[in-house]
């Protein structure tokens, strides 16, 4: 009987020790998983940005217009990212200004005309394709840091010169009797007569008359990425841009055309990174 009791006591003790050991092992395993997750999360949040692919889009405000763009990047090494960019822009002449008029109708009420740019001859758009490189100057260091990169970029630009149309009233100033015209020397006096201008002819006018003016472009700048996670792109870019076209571009009627354009810009860029 004593032997049985001893065996039962040993069995009970072994079971308790095993259960305690098992609980301790599970606790340690759970803690190890928790620490691993924290380490992985911290690496994603604060570690070096080593993702080998990135895609983003954004917009820039230029000193002579605006730009929208898409960008695809391929990491070369820890410090360099090669990227391709597709852009669409419009140039604004420094002397162009939008205006509108308030006219008295024959029925006794007033009419607010559509906005127009006085003295504008052509819209000048650009479709650009280029390749560039991003060089890491300083990493984020932690989740509240900012990654700083120098960028240099260049490529081809396809200038698109579209005639600017105006809605002109007849000589009596009747807003119900109008014609939509583009500038020519034959109608210069009417085109520049403010009393005859009813408003812009509309964005759809002139696209069938676009003339191609090819050129080259290049830019340099700095990009500041403040995204909390490395897989996210949230950046501001500042820099300067230069463009040269094979033919002079005339944007305003009474201003000389030019082939070379230079501007400064600030832009915002949003996107994501991943590993292929």
Secondary structure element (H or E) that encloses residue 45, with its range: helix 2-46
CB 101 within 8 A of CB 168: no
Residue 121 above 60 pLDDT? yes
- What Cα–Cα distance (Å) separates residue 241 from each residue in 4, 146, 246, 263, 264? 93, 24, 17, 5, 6
CA proximity to 155, closest of 186, 122, 123, 133: 133
pTM of the shown model: 0.81
CA-angle at 158, arms to 157 and 163, nearest 5°: 135
CA–CA gap between residue 162 and residue 205 (Å, rounded): 9
- The count of residues in the chain is 276
The confidence score (pLDDT) of residue 38 equals 47
Residue 26 above 70 pLDDT? no
| Residue range 50-274, CATH number | 2.40.160.20
Rounded to a whole number of angstroms, the CA Rg of the chain reads 33
CA–CA gap between residue 142 and residue 230 (Å, rounded): 10
**Stretch 176-191: mean pLDDT:** 92
Least confident of 174-178, 181-185, 187-191, 233-237: 174-178
Q: If pLDDT is split at 50, 70 and 90, which confidence band does 48 have?
A: low
Q: What are phi and psi of 12, to 5 degrees?
A: -65, -40
Residue 40 above 60 pLDDT? no
Domains of the chain: which residue ranges? 1-46, 50-274
CA proximity to 153, closest of 90, 212, 223: 223
Instruction: Quote the percentage of the chain above a pLDDT of 90.
Output: 64
Q: Which pair of structure tokens corresponds to residue 124?
A: 């000048």
- What Cα–Cα distance (Å) separates residue 145 from each residue in 41, 60, 106, 140, 155? 16, 23, 65, 4, 32
Place of tokens 């069995």: 11
Least confident of 84-88, 110-114, 119-123, 175-179: 110-114
Going 78 to 268 to 251 to 205, the CA torsion angle's sign is: positive
Q: Which residues of 24-43 are buried (b: 16+ CB within 10 A; e: fewer)?
A: eeeeeeeeeeeeeeeeeeee
pLDDT digits (tens, 9 = 90+) for 50-68: 899 999 999 999 999 999 9
């Amino acid at each position: 009987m004593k032997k049985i009791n001893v065996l039962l006591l040993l069995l009970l003790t072994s079971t308790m020790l095993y259960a305690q050991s098992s609980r301790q092992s599970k606790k340690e395993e759970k803690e190890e998983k928790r620490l691993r997750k924290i380490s992985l999360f911290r690496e994603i949040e604060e570690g070096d940005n080593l993702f080998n692919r990135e895609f983003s889009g954004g917009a820039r405000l230029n000193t002579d217009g605006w730009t929208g763009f898409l960008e695809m990047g391929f990491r070369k090494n820890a410090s360099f990212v090669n990227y391709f960019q597709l852009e669409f822009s419009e140039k604004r002449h420094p002397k162009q200004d939008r205006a509108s008029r308030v006219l008295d109708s024959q029925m006794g009420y007033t009419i607010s005309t559509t906005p127009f740019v006085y003295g504008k001859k052509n819209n000048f758009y650009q479709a650009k394709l280029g390749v560039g490189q991003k060089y890491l100057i300083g990493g984020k260091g932690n989740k509240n840091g900012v990654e700083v990169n120098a960028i240099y970029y260049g490529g081809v630009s396809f200038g698109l010169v579209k005639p600017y149309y105006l809605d002109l009233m007849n000589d009596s100033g009747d807003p119900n009797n109008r014609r939509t015209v583009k500038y020519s020397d034959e109608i210069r006096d009417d085109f520049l007569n403010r009393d005859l201008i009813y408003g812009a002819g509309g964005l759809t006018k002139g696209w069938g008359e676009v003339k191609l003016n090819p050129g080259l472009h290049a830019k340099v700048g700095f990009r500041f990425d403040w995204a909390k996670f490395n897989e996210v792109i949230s950046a501001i870019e500042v820099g300067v841009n230069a463009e040269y076209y094979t033919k002079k571009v005339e944007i305003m009627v009474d201003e000389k055309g030019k082939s070379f354009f230079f501007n400064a810009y600030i832009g915002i860029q949003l996107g994501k990174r991943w590993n292929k």
